[in-house]
Structure formats: C-alpha cells, structure tokens
C-alpha cells in the first residue's frame, strides 16, 4: 500500500506547504544563558514551539495546541550574540493533527558568515475549536521533492508514535491484570 493511500480522508481543501511556512528570528542575549554560559536549551525549545505554533495556526486557520514534541535534537551550542532563525513548516496532516518540522539555524549577529544548523525538532499539533475540542484541518499539499520526503518521513514517525503508545498501553494492561500495580 502506498503512503498516499494511507492518508486520512479530508473534508477541507488542501493547502500547499509554502502557505504556512515561516521563519522566526531572535537575537540571543545574556538573559537566555544557562550555567555554562551558552543559551539554555529551554529557550531554544520555546522558540521552536512558538514558530511551530504559528505554522500550525496558519495551516489550520485557527488555534492549535502542542500535543507532543518528538526528536528535539541539539546539534551545536547557541551563544549569546547569535542571531537564531527558527524555520518551520507543516510536514504532514491527519484529520485534526499536524506534524510541524522545525530547523534552528544560528549565525553571529555581527558577521557575514553562513548560518549553522544548531537544532531540529518535530512537533505534533492538534487544531482546536472555541471549546478546546479537536477540529478538522486541511490536508497539506507537498510542493517539492523535499516536501514529499518530509511527508513520507512524518508518516513513519506517526506510525512509530502510535505503535509505541499501543505497546506501552498493552504492557501496562498486562501488568495490571497480573496485579503488578505501580506505586
């Protein structure tokens, strides 16, 4: 079965990947540092969540909430004085959820050297209505080969998330049935 055949049925018209793609840029200051003198990972994670949330809201046409963060990887330290660019796009959509891929680049604020990738992450957002209940999202329409690769990789991550969740539930159910209760 092809990955296209596994896509959920959507009632809404699709939106191209480029429609919601965005870049958030921020200069890192001394207020952003950890005890080692580099930018705190939590500061970078907040920027990632902010950019991903903007993309999810744009794509879904309304509020969306963070459901999970997958594979937050820190590749290089970020330093005070770095100009950080957080690039985000919707990689995949389900019925009410979206995977947003994020790349974090950093460059010295006062130099003309190329930016370096310092982190990446994948987040899952759920679109919500006024009462906070999940609502349908438009399908994402990959435009380039890179977008199509990201869509396929997102499908694999989704399959793994669901399998992991199912395996953990089954293990907990077996332990409970055997009288092994967690304290």
The CA distance from 101 to 120, in Å, is 8
Q: What is the pLDDT along the chain (183 residues), one digit of tens a residue?
A: 344 444 455 678 999 999 999 999 999 999 999 999 999 999 999 999 999 999 999 999 999 999 999 889 999 999 999 999 999 999 999 999 999 999 999 999 888 889 999 999 999 999 999 999 999 999 999 999 999 999 999 999 999 999 999 999 999 999 999 888 776
The CA distance from 79 to 32, in Å, is 9
Kindly give the pairing relationship between strand 97-108 and strand 82-93.
antiparallel
Kindly give the pairing relationship between strand 140-141 and strand 15-16.
parallel
Report the run of H or E that residue 110 belongs to, with start and end: none
Phi, then psi, of 136 in degrees rounded to 5: -65, 150
Three-class secondary structure of residue 132 per DSSP? coil
Residues 6+ apart with CB under 8 A from 115: 83, 85, 105, 106, 107
């Amino acid at each position: 079965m092809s990955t296209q055949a596994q896509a959920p049925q959507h009632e809404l018209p699709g939106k191209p990947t480029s429609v919601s793609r965005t870049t958030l840029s921020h200069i890192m200051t001394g207020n952003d540092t950890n005890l080692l003198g580099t930018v705190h990972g939590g500061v970078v994670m907040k920027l990632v969540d902010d950019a991903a949330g903007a993309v999810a809201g744009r794509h879904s046409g309304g509020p969306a909430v963070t459901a999970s963060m997958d594979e937050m990887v820190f590749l290089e330290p970020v330093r005070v004085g770095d100009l950080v660019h957080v690039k985000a796009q919707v990689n995949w959509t389900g019925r009410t959820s979206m995977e947003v891929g994020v790349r974090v680049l950093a460059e010295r604020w006062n130099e003309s050297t190329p930016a370096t990738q310092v982190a990446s992450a994948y987040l899952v957002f759920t679109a919500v209505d006024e009462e906070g209940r999940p609502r349908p999202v438009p399908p994402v329409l990959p435009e380039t080969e890179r977008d199509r690769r990201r869509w396929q990789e997102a499908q694999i991550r989704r399959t793994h998330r669901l399998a992991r969740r199912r395996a953990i539930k089954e293990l907990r159910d077996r332990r409970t049935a055997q009288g092994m209760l967690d304290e």
